[in-house]
Amino acid sequence: MDLRDGPEEAAFRATLRTWLEANVPSGLRGFRGWTGPALALGRDWSKRLAQAGYAGLTWPKEYGGAGRPWRYQALYLEELARAEAPQHLGVIGLGMAGPTIIAHGRADQKTRYLAKILSAEDIWCQGFSEPGSGSDLASVRTRLDLVGDRFVVNGQKVWSSYAHVADRCILLGRSTTASEKHEGLTYLIVDMKSPGVEVRPLRQITGEAEFNEIFFTDVAVPKENLLGEVGGGWRVAMTTLSHERGTFGFALAGALDVAVRKLVALARERAGTDALVRDRVAREWIDLQALRYTNYRALARLERTGVPGPEGSVAKLRWSEANQRLTKLAIEIIGQEAQVAEGDGAPAYWRYQQLRSRGNTIEAGTSEILRNIIAERVLGLPRSR
């Protein structure tokens, strides 16, 4: 047990810190989401990250990655958060589509897709959830009909981040109506420029649009875009979702670290002597440390076993609830001024963060589903359905 950086880790961290100071574009400093002017800078920023060797840190070298142990991805996420700099725009490609292709793809698919994920030439989005299939993913109804040498795709996907800028989509649909659940599922790679693909941004509670609906109308997808087997899509989808949890906790703790620092500054400025506020700020600080050190434990386990443990669900669950509490405390401290939407000072920042946080307990696995996962898979309680 040693919580200090080793020499190599310290060197990596120092180099990255210096690099970030010199390279984060001014328009992306204090980043709070891929909206508005930030989005225009996203691809160029991501290319710069890739050129400096910070894309695909944990990907095997044979696929263009850095082949580094997981801890470097953790350090990278910590430093990015510290600099309040955004991640690579292609997080779905880097964290989900890429690892899924590495695990299930053919050699020609690896050649075709992986390098462009790293370089940010191709941005990916995820087509899993549907209006009728949220938590119950295996019930998706988007049809993938095999006609000759192509699939014909018809259906609707929803809550798809990055779809409005994406070049490709990992799509889960149903290739046979004979089977209702997992067995009929098939996993495809879809070119977002194909005729019949329509993306409609969804305006969120914050007023901004970070995610989308995707409509597929008779979209022709070559059979070679199949990932895994026809009818074997569930297994492939599970690979995608398990990668969503890898070092995800570090990104979350990093974001929370920034939020706690800003909360501390806000409380110092506006509520320094209020005992109740002080107590709540201390609670949030303690929760942040708990999350941070839980991530380190998870990392040690991931490096030892290669498989993310249940800590990923723990981190997501607690981060989302902490972020909701914390942002609400901030707007309470600010008072009615936080109800004014204009301006770009602290009130506007916290107003946005507080409203945005309501999505945290819903996106990437609702808190209810995460509690089910913990109850059933970790504690071994009987299935609730």
Partner 1 sequence: MDFSFSPEQDQLRAQARSFLEKRYPLGRLAEIATSEDGWDRASWPELARLGWTGASIPEAQGGAGLSFVEEAIVFEELGRALYSGPYFSTVALALPALGCAPDLLAKVASGAFTATLASGPAVQARGAGDRWRLRGETDLVADAGSVDAFVVQACGPDGIGLYLAERHNARPHVNVLDTVDATRRLGRVTFEDDDARLLAAPPAAAKIIAGTRRRALTALALEAVGVASQALAIGVEHAKSREQFGRPIGAYQAVSHKLADTYVETELARSLAYWAAWCIAEDDGQAELAASAAKTYAAEGAVAACERAIQVHGGMGFTWDHPLHRYYKRALWIESFDRSGAAHRADIAQVLLGG
Binding region for partner 1 (CB under 8 A)? 1-6, 9, 71, 264, 267-268, 272-273, 275, 278-279, 281-283, 285-287, 289-294, 296-297, 299-301, 304, 311, 314, 317-318, 368, 371-372, 374-376, 378-384
What is the smallest separation between the CB atom of 276 and partner 1, expressed in angstroms?
10
Q: Which is nearer to partner 1, 172 or 277 (CB)?
A: 277
Identify the residue whose tokens are 């498989």. 307
Residues 41 and 39: their CA atoms lie apart, in Å, by 5
Nearest Cα to Cα of residue 326 among 241, 266, 237, 251: 266
Q: What is the DSSP letter of 138?
A: G
What is the smallest separation between the CB atom of 229 and partner 1, expressed in angstroms?
33
Residues 152 and 145: their CA atoms lie apart, in Å, by 5
What is the smallest separation between the CB atom of 23 and partner 1, expressed in angstroms?
24
Q: Which is nearer to partner 1, 26 or 384 (CB)?
A: 384
Residues 138 and 153: their CA atoms lie apart, in Å, by 17
Residues 197 and 214: their CA atoms lie apart, in Å, by 7
- Under a CB-based contact definition with an 8 Å cutoff, are residues 109 and 55 in contact? no
Q: Which is nearer to partner 1, 26 or 273 (CB)?
A: 273
In the set 244, 332, 342, 363, the catalytic residue is 244
Specify whether 244 is catalytic: yes
- Under a CB-based contact definition with an 8 Å cutoff, are residues 190 and 127 in contact? yes
What is the smallest separation between the CB atom of 278 and partner 1, expressed in angstroms?
4
Q: Which is nearer to partner 1, 13 or 182 (CB)?
A: 13
What is the smallest separation between the CB atom of 281 and partner 1, expressed in angstroms?
6
CB-based burial of residue 221 (10 Å sphere; 0-12 exposed, 13-18 middle, 19+ buried)? buried
Distances 376 to 244, 307, 309, 329, 361 between C-alpha atoms, Å? 19, 18, 14, 33, 19
Q: Which two tokens stand for residue 24?
A: 């984060």
Give SS3 for 116. helix
Q: Which is nearer to partner 1, 237 or 299 (CB)?
A: 299
Strands 185-191 and 197-202: unpaired
What is the smallest separation between the CB atom of 79 and partner 1, expressed in angstroms?
13
Q: Which is nearer to partner 1, 218 or 303 (CB)?
A: 303
What per-residue string of b and e applies to 66-89 under the rule 16 or more CB within 10 Å gives b? bebebbbbbbbbbbbbbbbbbbbb
What is the smallest separation between the CB atom of 84 and partner 1, expressed in angstroms?
19
Nearest Cα to Cα of residue 78 among 309, 246, 315, 253: 253
Identify the residue whose tokens are 């990992």. 170
Q: Which is nearer to partner 1, 1 or 22 (CB)?
A: 1
Instruction: Please report, as a single letter, which amino acid is at residue 331.
Output: I
Residues 17 and 128: their CA atoms lie apart, in Å, by 36
Q: Which residues are catalytic?
A: 244
